[in-house]
Amino acid sequence: MDKNKIKKGLGRGLSSLIGETKNEKDFNKLSISDLVSNKFQPRKIFDEENLKDLTNSIKERGIIQPIIVRKSSVNNSKYEIIAGERRWLAAQKAGLHEVPVVITNADDLKSLEFAIIENVQRNDLNAVEEARGYQRLIDEFSYDQEKVAKFIGKSRSHIANFLRLLGLPEEVLKLIETKKLTPGHAKILVGLHNSAFVANKIIEKNLSVRQSENFVKIFKIKKQSSKKIKDINLQALENSIREKIGLNVLIKNKNNNTGSLILEYKDLTQLNKIIEIIKSNY
């Protein structure tokens, strides 16, 4: 993408993003059955109460804001939703047969950008979904953290903090997704070997973020006391590589300057990314 187009995405809004793509028609109506879900939709959990409220609103006033779609790459007779999946679901519950749409020519990157921008603008994503959306931009479209931050209109530290959550065990991520654990609590757990145990204790004792920080310090101090402090230069190098490629990096260096470089991956997509980087440079 042109760097001039990556200014603050949230500040520009969806209307600006629509303007960057060529619209086949400014406005149209399609049958509900002609639409399919966005394969890049970052949101996996739809709040049933909010969906019910939207359904009632649509029954009374109809759909005010059209759904943004593109031609499906899988089925030429279908249209894939880029933005407005919640409206589409509510329209089905409201018994509508047709919905207003804007048909646009968007590639996969633009489709993912649309989906992330819409959900982040409306605070519809939980922290894990938001983090995974950012990670997809990094893994599948070669964004780095700085580029994601500029596009989303958030600070680089915000992006980094959310991405770090993905290093937590799946058990803890589920607690965040189901809102049993807040992102503020979860950030404290990053790096703890017993994060799942501590997370459940936080929930069980109904600890505030401040109380959780004090509780976690017990484990961190114990771990640090038995661990040699890593050379500051190695830490800086790890952070530099981590920010560049978006993966966790661990450098182990011995006194004779032999050691190991460990790159952690969460799925096959990240593994393939590591392999491609190595092949392209050696």
Q: Is 171 a catalytic residue?
A: no
Query: How far is Cα 84 from Cα 103, in angstroms, rounded to an integer?
Result: 12
45-53 long-range contacts, CB within 8 A, separation 24+: 45/126, 45/129, 45/177, 45/178, 46/86, 46/89, 50/86, 51/86, 51/89, 51/90, 51/93, 52/93
15 touches 81 (CB < 8 A):
no
DSSP 95-111: T-SEEEEEEEE--HHHH
Query: How far is Cα 84 from Cα 236, in angstroms, rounded to an integer?
Result: 42
Choosing from 48, 60, 80, 85, the catalytic residue is 85
Contacts of 130 (CB under 8 A, 6+ apart): 42, 116, 119, 120, 162
- The residues annotated as belonging to the active site are 85
